[in-house]
Structure 1
Amino acid sequence: MRTPPSLVSLAIDAAVLNLSRFSDLSPIPDHILLDLFLRTLRAGKLTEKILKLFIATGNDEVLSLIQALNIQHVLTPVLPTSKSILTISIPSEYGELF
């Protein structure tokens, strides 16, 4: 008969499913943080926001793994939003939008 998963394992699994709701991972112990990062990768849940959370912890093992796997921030270009800089021509078939 299989032994049931530990409470820590169940908590990490639940955290992986809800990582987008976290704002800070620094209180999590280092050994659990590394396991959480690995499970996040396996689950395909690593987003830009979640990556920033892990980087912000400053955990050496997690940072080394990020570097070893060549995981990088995606730099999204920011378009200017000032009317004096950006002029958009909207075809008349779309009507007035603003």
Structure 2
Amino acid sequence: MAWIMLFLAGLLEILWAWAMKLSNGFTQPVYTGVMVVGMVGSFALLSLSMKVLPLGTAYMVWTGIGAVGAFVVGWAVLGEAVTPMRLVAAVLIVAGLVLMKIAS
């Protein structure tokens, strides 16, 4: 159950990061609200998962999901550039997540 909560926390991190971008410097109230709700939910689920999972593992997986997810949303939804170096960086983050999961 802790891993499911951690995965959901990571998805909410992607949501709040995207909403932060769409809030245009907190000038769009709906997106700002989505961002705040996403942050609270993400932190709450992360906190609950840390009752079972080690701090380093939980935090790394949470930030990794958020980082790679935000990269994918930036590319797929916002039209941000995908360069070979950015792809390598994303692959290395995913590899680190897999290794952390295996080591736990």
Asked if Structure 1 and Structure 2 have the same fold, meaning a TM-score greater than 0.5 normalized by the shorter chain, the answer is no
Greater fraction helix = 2
TM-score after normalising by structure 1 = 0.28
TM-score after normalising by structure 2 = 0.27
**Which one has more relative contact order, counting CA pairs under 8 Å at least 6 apart?**
2
